[in-house]
């Protein structure tokens, strides 16, 4: 039984390696090898902004008192404000700051224009 489980795991692993390291054609469009594309050291994720835990100072309109936003080592924001209105404003700003791509994508999706971002293969036929 142990040999069967090991063999199944080995075969699954080898098939997964083969699938993720080869280029596939989907709907006439070439899809890059997903294993190389998702590689955190050399692929797409390497382009991500560094997760720095630096404090930031941003000048915004709409706040009445100074606000301090500091990030811990896990990039969790800690927001300190002198009143609730400014606190909620800063919390919304920090949340949106990390979700700009999502807001952009959702506006395109609502308008039916996802193919402007993803390309012609995303059009409905």
Distance of CA 8 to the CA centre of its chain: 33
- Of the pLDDT bands very low, low, confident and very high (cuts 50, 70, 90), residue 82 is very high
> What is the domain extent for residue 115?
50-125
Same structural domain, 125 and 84: yes
Give yes or no: residues 44 and 54 share one domain: no
The CATH number covering residue 60 comes to 1.10.439.10
The answer on 12 and 26 residing in a single domain is: yes
Same domain, 66 and 118: yes
30 in the same domain as 58 = no
Which pLDDT score is estimated for 15?
94
| Domain termination residue (choose one: 14, 29, 48) | 48
Of 65, 88, 91, 97, which Cα lies nearest the Cα of 78? 91
Query: Any idea how long the chain is?
Result: 125
- Are 124 and 88 part of one and the same domain? yes
Do 26 and 57 have their domain in common? Answer: no
Same domain, 68 and 117: yes
The reply to whether 80 and 60 lie within a common domain is yes
Q: Which of 69, 46, 49 lies closest to 57, judged by CA?
A: 69
Average pLDDT value for residue range 80-103: 89
Instruction: Please give the distance of CA 82 from its chain centroid, rounded to a whole number.
Output: 32
* Strand runs labelled E in 1-125: 24-26, 29-31, 67-71, 77-81
State the total domains in the chain.
2
Is the domain of 81 the same as that of 23?
no
> What whole-number distance in Å separates Cα of residue 27 and Cα of residue 107?
25
Q: Is it the case that residue 14 has pLDDT exceeding 90?
A: yes
pTM of the model: 0.46
């Amino acid at each position: 039984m142990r040999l069967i489980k090991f063999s199944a795991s080995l075969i699954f692993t080898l098939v997964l390696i083969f699938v993720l390291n080869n280029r596939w054609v989907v709907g006439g469009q070439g899809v890059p090898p997903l294993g190389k594309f998702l590689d955190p050291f050399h692929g797409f994720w390497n382009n991500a902004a560094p997760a720095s835990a630096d404090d930031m100072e941003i000048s915004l309109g709409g706040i009445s008192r100074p606000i301090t936003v500091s990030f811990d080592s896990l990039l969790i924001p800690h927001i300190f404000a002198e009143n609730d209105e400014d606190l909620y404003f800063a919390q919304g700003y920090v949340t949106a700051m990390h979700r700009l791509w999502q807001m952009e994508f959702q506006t395109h999706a609502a308008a039916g224009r996802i193919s402007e971002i993803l390309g012609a293969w995303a059009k409905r036929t």
